[in-house]
Chain A
Amino acid sequence: MLTSFENFQSKFIEEALDNINDLEQALLELELSPCNKDLLERVFRVMHSLKGGGAMFGFDQLSEFTHRLESIYDLIRSGKLCVSSSLLSVTLKSVDLLRDLLNLDAVDSTEIRSRYKELSLAIEEAMQHEAHKVIASVSSFHQKKSEKPDEHTVGMATYYIHFYPGTHILQNGTNLLYLIDELRALGQMYSIAGVRNLPALEEFSPLDSFFFWDFFLATDQGADAIKDVFIFVEDDSVVEMHKMSNSSLFENSHFMERLNGLADKQNDIGFSDFADFMGSEEVPSEAADSTPEIVSKQDNANGRSSSSIRVSSEKIDGLMNLVSELVITQERLNLIASRYQIPELKMVTERVQKLTGMLRDSAFSISLIPVENMLTRFQRLVRDLSGDLGKQIVFTATGTETEMDKTMIDSLTDPILHIIRNSIDHGIEMPDERLRKGKPAKGTIHLKAGYSGANVVITISDDGAGIDVRKVRQKAIEKEIIKESDLLTEQEILNLVFLPGFSTLGSVTELSGRGVGMDVVKRNIGAIRGEVGITSEVNKGTVITITLPLVLSIIDGLLVRIGQNKYVIPLSLTDRIYPVESHLLENNFIQVMTLDNEQVPFFNLRREMGIGGEAPARCQMVVVNHTNIRMALSVDQVIGKIQAVLKPLGRLYHDQKMVSAATIMGDGTIALVLDVNTFVKQLLN
């Protein structure tokens, strides 16, 4: 039992981390639109489930702390407080603490304890400080409310609760005694337990539960608090709740007598046995409340569970491998079908091809998550750091729907955090300095993500001070990285910042000078086969470009032949194909060809790739569009469309620039995937 409880704990931690991330994001959004009711509801919902789950799985501090936070947002929700930036700062700091509170081993450390105290105080303070800032318009709304007293806050009441958790409840790892304890904590309670549907001994399964309870609870916490207790079991259980009285019936001696008497005599105590105690005090308007309220609704539960499920990444990897193999096998089927020309076979093959393509796309989309998922941390960093430094910075992002492998996003977050930290600390100037330079006081850090052929490109640009090439050079000479006599281009000098042991700013600041420099960024990105580039202009800003290969990827490609080998050009880049006489390529000095009355630069791939042998009399010019550049690539023959499962060429071909990957075709031979990016770069230089 203990191990399975721990298992549920770890599941809870996983879920809670998601919830906390969601909370953080919602809070950051809330700062931009403080009046958004939906966002507030979202914040509230997350806090609520953290509180409930935390208490249930033994994260008492987490639960308690969330409760404090929740009380602030309850005030905001009811209009007694308004969202302010200082309030959000406290909340965001609290969110960090919540994360740490999930680590049960560290919860009792003095550091966390002191933070806990500090933040609890800050929350109290914020509540009191902000409390008087009630907006006038809200107070009228409030008055209206007070005429009809709020359900949550009414005084003492007695409830009858019938709770039958279902037979399978124990298999979920739910500890029913915890639930009852929680319920008991709400007020004075009398509980009667019973068994139901008890099977014959031979059919009895020790894993099932046959218990049900009848509770009589006198509490001043209101009906919602009771519902909260059952929030995690309501899907499978029958929970019936009736309000019996607006006072504590435990003080009524007749009631107690009856109760004790019934408890001794009969197993099943119903609500009806006490009907006569209700009538006298019952307020007609509360009739709605006393009708049985069955909280569990099966279809409701189904609807919720289908919205998203958790799957281990190993399963996804397994699925991806199978799909890759299917795609390869399918190409093989194509090959056979085209050989035999049987109409029926052809039909089936086409159908299978279509289905494979669809399956591929959906399997692929499972393993990818949008770049958007890592933005919250960046936004948070910009918000917190710029505040600390007294700088005004906005963080914007485009292309956030660009999707990448999850592991890649995970390993990218830290390097990008570092780059952004650099931009905030060294790049963006103080507001007055910016105004002096004729720039808006508010600096901008922009993250742009997008696909470029078989790569994902992420650029992080700021409009700050830029990097002074002379300073970098001076520093490099001081550090004996280069010699005084070395002649370097500006770009070469800029690239020096990626070398180990290089930091341009003389003083080590708290933010970006913790002995970790751009060399670590480069190394971390190199570890996932990415590249980092930097360009910078003094007083204009710095642009850092991260280029990453799309691993695990399957693309639609154009299969072509050059010499003996087959190559794949990503279909998304290809535009048109023109047949051209080969001799036109040979005697062309400016490497430009007129196709359809348009001047297009071209590459003779035979020559570029050093492929020997005789070129055919006619070759095909494949026109590709890549990052707004249009160019043509000459190939011997265009074979057709192919679904290419990209396989890395491996470590030994790391320096290979023209070919980004390989793919295995239906007949088992290999085609190489051309990296159009390389040719673009070559063209631009």
Chain B
Amino acid sequence: MSQDSELKINSYLSFRLGEEIFALHVGRVHKILEMTGITEVPCAPDYMKGVINLRGNVLPVVDTRVKFGMSAVEKSKTTSILVTEVNISGENVLVGLMVDAVHSVLKLEQDDLLPPPRIGDKYRSEFISNMARVKDRFYIVLNMDALFSSDEQIDLSELTQIKSQVSQISEVNSEIK
């Protein structure tokens, strides 16, 4: 998906990981799959869950919970795989993201999107492309490219911390107004 159309379409797909809600631009999500059998690849990092057959092609699947420092996904009825497009060092690749549940498609106007927070650990905040605010609820819009360019596990608690900080600030701001 080109940069232009990504800017025009303002739909975001929200999904749940544990107790936290994240959002991704729909332009990045190609498909939502039900959980299927995953072929494990030996000697890979823990969060690399394995590979699946996506219409005759091999799709790597990431256990997003492990990548975010949570316990591995407990398979349930709602567990899904989001087939998303990420850009890793200039190359567009498809990656399957295991998530606990897919929520809904959000319409986010430009006003709802807050800039990435400048507070907190600068390195960590680069994984957030925006904070979104819908009906006083905050979502973290993830920067997929940055997430997958890093081989490390990311501590989710830091992300949520940043989120609560941002929401506090915006509350303070609105009070001042």
In the complex, what residues of B have CB within 8 A of residue A650's CB?
58-60, 93-94
Contacts A651-B93, A652-B148, A670-B53 given; does A662 touch B39 at CB 8 Å = yes
Q: Is B62 in the interface zone, CB < 8 Å from A?
A: yes
Q: Of B41, B56, B58, B60, which is within 8 A of A325 by CB? A: B56
24 contacts between A and B (CB under 8 A): A564-B40, A565-B39, A647-B57, A647-B58, A649-B41, A649-B51, A650-B58, A650-B59, A650-B60, A651-B91, A652-B62, A652-B93, A652-B95, A653-B41, A653-B44, A656-B44, A657-B43, A664-B58, A668-B53, A669-B37, A669-B53, A670-B52, A670-B58, A671-B39
Q: Find out whether the CB atom of A658 lies under 8 angstroms from the CB atom of B42.
A: yes
Q: Is B88 in the interface zone, CB < 8 Å from A?
A: yes
Q: Is A640 in the interface zone, CB < 8 Å from B?
A: no
Q: Find out whether the CB atom of A656 lies under 8 angstroms from the CB atom of B39.
A: no
Q: Find out whether the CB atom of A609 lies under 8 angstroms from the CB atom of B91.
A: no
B42 CB to closest chain A CB, in angstroms? 3
Q: Of A609, A651, A670, which is within 8 A of B51 by CB? A: A670
Q: Of A651, A656, A672, which is within 8 A of B88 by CB? A: A651
Q: Is A69 in the interface zone, CB < 8 Å from B?
A: no
In the complex, what residues of B have CB within 8 A of residue A670's CB?
39, 51-53, 58
Contacts A651-B91, A652-B93 given; does A664 touch B42 at CB 8 Å = no
Q: Of B37, B42, B52, B88, which is within 8 A of A652 by CB? A: B88
Residue of A nearest to B42 (CB): A609
Q: Is A154 in the interface zone, CB < 8 Å from B?
A: no
Q: Is B131 in the interface zone, CB < 8 Å from A?
A: no
The CA of A325 and the CA of B42, in the complex, are separated in Å by 26
Q: Find out whether the CB atom of B58 lies under 8 angstroms from the CB atom of A652.
A: no
The CA of A659 and the CA of B91, in the complex, are separated in Å by 21
The CA of A432 and the CA of B160, in the complex, are separated in Å by 72
In the complex, what residues of B have CB within 8 A of residue A564's CB?
40
A340 CB to closest chain B CB, in angstroms? 24
A313-326 CB mask vs B (1 if < 8 Å, else 0) is: 00000000000110
Q: Is A648 in the interface zone, CB < 8 Å from B?
A: yes
In the complex, what residues of B have CB within 8 A of residue A609's CB?
42-43
B21-54 CB mask vs A (1 if < 8 Å, else 0) is: 0000000000000000101111110001001110
Interface positions of B from 84 to 131, Cβ below 8 Å from A? 88, 91, 93-95
The CA of A609 and the CA of B148, in the complex, are separated in Å by 24
The CA of A187 and the CA of B44, in the complex, are separated in Å by 78
In the complex, what residues of B have CB within 8 A of residue A183's CB?
none
In the complex, what residues of A have CB within 8 A of residue B94's CB?
650
A-B pairs with lowest CB-CB distance, top 7 = A609-B42, A670-B39, A647-B58, A662-B58, A652-B60, A651-B93, A650-B60
In the complex, what residues of B have CB within 8 A of residue A648's CB?
58
Q: Is A328 in the interface zone, CB < 8 Å from B?
A: yes
Q: Is A611 in the interface zone, CB < 8 Å from B?
A: yes
A628-662 CB mask vs B (1 if < 8 Å, else 0) is: 00000000000000000001111111001111001
In the complex, what residues of A have CB within 8 A of residue B53's CB?
664, 668-670
The CA of A671 and the CA of B37, in the complex, are separated in Å by 12
Q: Find out whether the CB atom of A662 lies under 8 angstroms from the CB atom of B51.
A: yes
Residues of B bordering A, CB below 8 Å: 37, 39-44, 48, 51-53, 56-60, 62, 88, 91, 93-95, 148
Residue of A nearest to B45 (CB): A655
Interface of B is mostly: strand
In the complex, what residues of A have CB within 8 A of residue B59's CB?
650
Q: Is A610 in the interface zone, CB < 8 Å from B?
A: yes
Q: Find out whether the CB atom of B41 lies under 8 angstroms from the CB atom of A328.
A: no
The CA of A649 and the CA of B41, in the complex, are separated in Å by 10
Contacts A669-B37, A670-B51 given; does A653 touch B42 at CB 8 Å = no
In the complex, what residues of B have CB within 8 A of residue A668's CB?
53
Q: Find out whether the CB atom of A649 lies under 8 angstroms from the CB atom of B43.
A: no
In the complex, what residues of A have CB within 8 A of residue B42's CB?
565, 609-611, 658-659, 672
Interface contacts (Cβ under 8 Å), in number, total 67
The CA of A330 and the CA of B170, in the complex, are separated in Å by 60
The CA of A328 and the CA of B58, in the complex, are separated in Å by 13
Contacts A668-B53, A669-B53 given; does A649 touch B40 at CB 8 Å = no
The CA of A598 and the CA of B41, in the complex, are separated in Å by 32
Q: Find out whether the CB atom of A653 lies under 8 angstroms from the CB atom of B56.
A: no
A674 CB to closest chain B CB, in angstroms? 10
In the complex, what residues of B have CB within 8 A of residue A324's CB?
56
Q: Find out whether the CB atom of A610 lies under 8 angstroms from the CB atom of B43.
A: yes
In the complex, what residues of A have CB within 8 A of residue B93's CB?
650-652
Q: Find out whether the CB atom of A653 lies under 8 angstroms from the CB atom of B48.
A: yes
A529 CB to closest chain B CB, in angstroms? 11
Interface positions of A from 665 to 684, Cβ below 8 Å from B? 668-672
Q: Find out whether the CB atom of B39 lies under 8 angstroms from the CB atom of A653.
A: no
In the complex, what residues of A have CB within 8 A of residue B48's CB?
652-653
The CA of A669 and the CA of B44, in the complex, are separated in Å by 19
B132 CB to closest chain A CB, in angstroms? 27
The CA of A664 and the CA of B39, in the complex, are separated in Å by 11
Q: Of B56, B60, B62, which is within 8 A of A328 by CB? A: B56
Interface positions of A from 547 to 600, Cβ below 8 Å from B? 564-565
Q: Find out whether the CB atom of A659 lies under 8 angstroms from the CB atom of B39.
A: no
The CA of A570 and the CA of B42, in the complex, are separated in Å by 18
B95 CB to closest chain A CB, in angstroms? 6
A673 CB to closest chain B CB, in angstroms? 11
The CA of A395 and the CA of B159, in the complex, are separated in Å by 59
Q: Of B40, B57, B60, B148, which is within 8 A of A565 by CB? A: B40
Residue of B nearest to A667 (CB): B53
A371 CB to closest chain B CB, in angstroms? 26
Q: Of A610, A649, A657, A658, which is within 8 A of B58 by CB? A: A649
> Among B42, B56, B57, which residue has the most Cβ atoms of chain A within 10 A?
B42
Q: Known pairs A652-B60, A668-B53. 5 more at Cβ < 8 A?
A: A565-B40, A649-B51, A652-B88, A653-B44, A672-B41
Q: Of A647, A652, A656, A664, which is within 8 A of B43 by CB? A: A656
Interface positions of A from 594 to 636, Cβ below 8 Å from B? 609-611
In the complex, what residues of A have CB within 8 A of residue B39's CB?
565, 662, 669-672
The CA of A651 and the CA of B151, in the complex, are separated in Å by 12
In the complex, what residues of B have CB within 8 A of residue A647's CB?
57-58
The CA of A656 and the CA of B44, in the complex, are separated in Å by 7
The CA of A657 and the CA of B41, in the complex, are separated in Å by 11
Contacts A650-B93, A652-B48 given; does A664 touch B56 at CB 8 Å = yes
In the complex, what residues of A have CB within 8 A of residue B37's CB?
669
A46-78 CB mask vs B (1 if < 8 Å, else 0) is: 000000000000000000000000000000000
The CA of A670 and the CA of B57, in the complex, are separated in Å by 10
In the complex, what residues of A have CB within 8 A of residue B52's CB?
670
In the complex, what residues of A have CB within 8 A of residue B91's CB?
651
The CA of A652 and the CA of B53, in the complex, are separated in Å by 16
B67 CB to closest chain A CB, in angstroms? 11
B47 CB to closest chain A CB, in angstroms? 10
The CA of A658 and the CA of B88, in the complex, are separated in Å by 22
A322-359 CB mask vs B (1 if < 8 Å, else 0) is: 00110010000000000000000000000000000000
Q: Find out whether the CB atom of A658 lies under 8 angstroms from the CB atom of B43.
A: yes
A663 CB to closest chain B CB, in angstroms? 8
In the complex, what residues of B have CB within 8 A of residue A611's CB?
42
The CA of A672 and the CA of B53, in the complex, are separated in Å by 12
